[in-house]
Amino acid sequence: MVERATPLGADFKPGSYGDFADGIGITLSAPPSGTIVEATAWPGRERALAARVGKVVGLSLEAGAGAGAFKETGAAAFNIGPGRFLVSGRNEVLADRLIGAVPEETGTLTDLSHGRTRLRVEGARAEWVLAKLFALDFSSAAFPVTEGRATAHHDYFVQIQRTGDQRFELYVFRSFARAFVSVLRRAAEDVGYRIE
């Protein structure tokens, strides 16, 4: 099998950067994207889609706005719009499993694996750094664990899921990943960051 090359370029090297005299504020990483699929329900079939997607990834999903779920095994699904879920997992056959579970009368599936890059922002200052870039409230009360948001920073469309108290997964268009990481790194310079 051909290995997918990283779109992040040579600048995304492990190490500590910025002002880390008082410690590292966040850690940036690019976990393997695995499979990324967008599942969209036909009108009136939102609950059926949520149930079927949830069964495939082994999670309980709600069809409401912001609803999501995350497993430490790497499976994630979250609501990115009315009747729409972004589903990701380390399992390369996830797309095939979803195709088998979601009948045509329930909704559509689009494999985005080759078009998206997954980034992880984690650490005590993660909310602070992300709030610099996006007009969202990243506090745990407004953005609880498992929920997701679809937003943008200038030209960069980003889908974000909170997967831990201090951990966020960001999904960006692969063609913009290198430029977006550059912006993210600049936003993190004042808190100090580590690339893993």
pLDDT tens digits, 79-112: 888 889 999 887 777 888 888 899 999 999 999 9
* pLDDT given at position 65: 46
Domain containing 22 equals 15-31+118-144+173-195
DSSP string for 67-122: -EEE-TTS-EEEEEETTEEEEEES-TTHHHHHHHHS-TTTEEEEE-TTTEEEEEEE
Residue 5 CA: distances (Å) to CA of 10, 117, 190: 11, 11, 30
Are residues 106 and 81 part of one domain?
Answer: yes
On the question of pLDDT at 72 being above 60, the answer is: no
Least confident of 15-19, 46-50, 95-99, 178-182: 95-99
84 and 42 in a common domain: yes
- What is the domain-level CATH number for residue 66? 3.30.70.1520
Q: Which residues pair with 70 in a beta bridge?
A: 76
pLDDT of residue 97: 86
Residues 47 and 95 both lie in one domain: yes
Number of domains in the chain: 2
**pLDDT value of residue 62:** 62
| Residue at 85 is within a domain | yes
- SS3 call for 49: helix
* 40 and 97 fall within a common domain: yes
Within a domain: residue 5? no
Say whether both 133 and 178 belong to one domain: yes
pLDDT tens digit sequence for 124-156: 999 999 999 999 999 999 999 888 888 888 889
